[in-house]
Amino acid sequence: MSPSSSPFDARVDLGRGLVLTNPISVASGTFGFGFEAVQLAGIDHLGAIFSKGTTPLPREGNAPPRIAETAAGMLNSIGLQNPGVEVVARDYAPRWAEWPIPVLVNVAGADVTEYVTVVQRLDGLAGVAGIELNISCPNIAHGLDFATEPGAAARCVAAVRASTDLPLVVKLSPNVTDIAEVARAVEDAGADAISAVNTFLGLKVDLGSRRPVLPGHGSGGLSGPAIKPMALAAVIRVRRAVAIPVIGIGGISTASDALEFFVAGADAVQVGTANFNNPLASREIVAGCLDHAHRWGLRRFSDLRWQDLGPPGAS
């Protein structure tokens, strides 16, 4: 039997029994808690949903303006606006339990205790398929600390790991000297998978007022097609550093973009900012990736991996 006649298998195993039907998901902060998309474009095509960042208490978020468009990208400084874990656990999780696809809750906190508090509240709830630990939010005080220092990242991940058996994905910041070092630290601390990467620190200036467009320090997180080459470089570095699954994120707006991340060693991908300008983006990307897989006679998306990275599972 030739490879091209073997059935194509789109599934991806993120560990601890969490198997996605396909590797295309949507990134935290670009899809809310899924309820808008359910009305607008549907969710059944997705491998998973990664929720908006959730904290112990409700957060109102940062003062406007919160977003600014840049060349092929956008800056955001939302400041983790969310209703708090109690609302997520009590009101959202039961609705997710009815959905045909898994929802992983993105968890954020100001210190290790806060992360653990949120995760413990979510542990064991129907509708919560896993945790994505956001140790890399650029828009809250101390948000980046956990992601930039491998020791701090490892302590945070280890504490959360000890408090839940849920699949644990850790989302890394690109705003570090050596992302590979942080990736190894969180893998050693018990992460089941790694999301790479969160937004890049950026700033837009308004010449008229001679100040940054965004308030506060003026900087925000850059996302969109502008960051794709940098995200791909980060994913390759993480891929070479760890054996656990890597979820590639950064400027994916078309099926070709997603496929490029598989070449760079990603096991799965998240569609982010493209969800804003095109609510059908993830649906179009899933269809486009499957179409390419059939045309190219793939057995799995990981067949696309650059040979230099070694075979899947042998990193």
119 binds another protein (CB under 8 A): no
Is residue 55 near another protein by the rule CB under 8 A? no
Stretch of 25-33, 154-162, 170-178, 260-268 contacting another protein, by CB under 8 A: 25-33
Q: Is 225 in the site for another protein (CB under 8 A)?
A: yes
- Work out whether 31 is an interface residue with another protein (CB under 8 A): yes
- DSSP type of residue 261: H
Taking alpha carbons only, the member of 269, 282, 267, 270 closest to residue 314 is 267
Choose one: 12-20, 90-98, 277-285, 307-315; the region binding another protein (CB under 8 A). 277-285
- Judged by CB, which is closer to another protein: 190, or 215? 215
Give the one residue of 22, 25, 30, 139 binding another protein; rule: CB under 8 A: 30
- Residue 78 makes contact with another protein by CB under 8 A: yes
Does residue 289 carry a catalytic annotation? no
Question: With binding defined as CB under 8 A, does residue 215 bind another protein?
Answer: yes
* CB 130 within 8 Å of CB 168: yes
Rule CB under 8 A: choose which of 10, 16, 21, 66 binds another protein.
Answer: 66
Minimum CB separation of residue 41 from another protein in Å reads: 8
CB atoms within 10 A of CB 300: 18
Across the chain, where does the E strand assignment appear?
12-13, 19-20, 24-26, 49-50, 67-70, 73-76, 103-107, 130-134, 168-172, 193-196, 200-203, 205-206, 211-212, 219-223, 246-249, 268-271
* Residue 279 in the binding site for another protein (CB under 8 A): yes
- If DSSP codes are grouped into helix, strand and coil, which group holds residue 192? coil
CA nearest to 159, candidates 127, 99, 88, 111: 111
Taking the CA atoms of residue 286, residue 290, residue 292 and residue 296 in that order, the dihedral angle to the nearest 10 degrees is: 160
Active-site residue, from 137, 259, 290, 293: 137
Q: Does 216 bind another protein (CB under 8 A)?
A: no
Among 15, 123, 276, 302, binds another protein (CB under 8 A): 276
Separation in Å, CA 140 to CA 28, 76, 108, 146, 253: 16, 12, 10, 12, 27
Which CB sits closer to another protein, 190 or 225? 225
Instruction: Give catalytic residue positions.
Output: 137
Give the footprint of another protein on this chain (CB under 8 A).
29-32, 36-37, 39-41, 52, 60-61, 63-74, 76, 78, 81, 204, 206, 208-209, 213, 215, 224-226, 253, 273, 275-280
